[in-house]
Amino acid sequence: MPLDVDGLAILKAILAAPDAFPDIGGEADRAARMLVIRQLKAKTFPLSGLRRVYEVLGHEVFTLVVDDLTEAETRNLVVRFDPRHPDGKTAPPHWLRRQIVALAGGAEPHAGGEVARTPRLSLPAAAPAVRAIGSPAFTARWDGKDHDPRPRKGKRKAGD
């Protein structure tokens, strides 16, 4: 069984000598961006962690990474880090991205009121399902007579 490799050590080595890895520059960029996005989307990632990532990456790089997020991802991040903001669920994508950068840069989450919730549509009550055991076919009693029609004499069954 092979030993596990320290991925961070490899990334540091690539960063220290990029000329030794000329053919993977684009892949390294995509991998780094993907790792940062995955960290931002982690369910247990707190606002303090978001601010730490912003501090480490810097404003410009952090903004470029946030620009790569989809609308759903940015909306989820804003709702998670600023749940009481009234525009968190209805704002356009560019506002959501700016809000994430602002929160990461030190802006405090909206302090007003309750957590913004979207109203749930109440579905009409469905009719109760009819159970097969309660249907007339199951409640019938056998009277001892065969009520099926007799087969015709001129036709044979397909299997004969």
Rounded to two decimals, what is the model's pTM? 0.63
**Phi/psi at 117 (nearest 5 deg)?**
-125, 145
Domains of the chain: which residue ranges?
25-104
Count of Cβ atoms closer than 10 Å to residue 50 Cβ:
21
Task: Write the pLDDT tens digit of every residue in 41-99.
Answer: 999 999 999 999 999 999 999 999 999 999 999 999 999 998 888 888 888 989 999 99
Taking only the tens place, the pLDDT of each residue in 1-21 is: 567 888 888 888 888 888 898
- Burial annotation 61-91 (CB, 10 A radius, 16+ → b, else e): ebbebbeebeeebbbbbbbbbbeebeebeeb
What distance in Å separates the CA atoms of residue 20 and residue 13, rounded to the nearest whole number?
Answer: 10
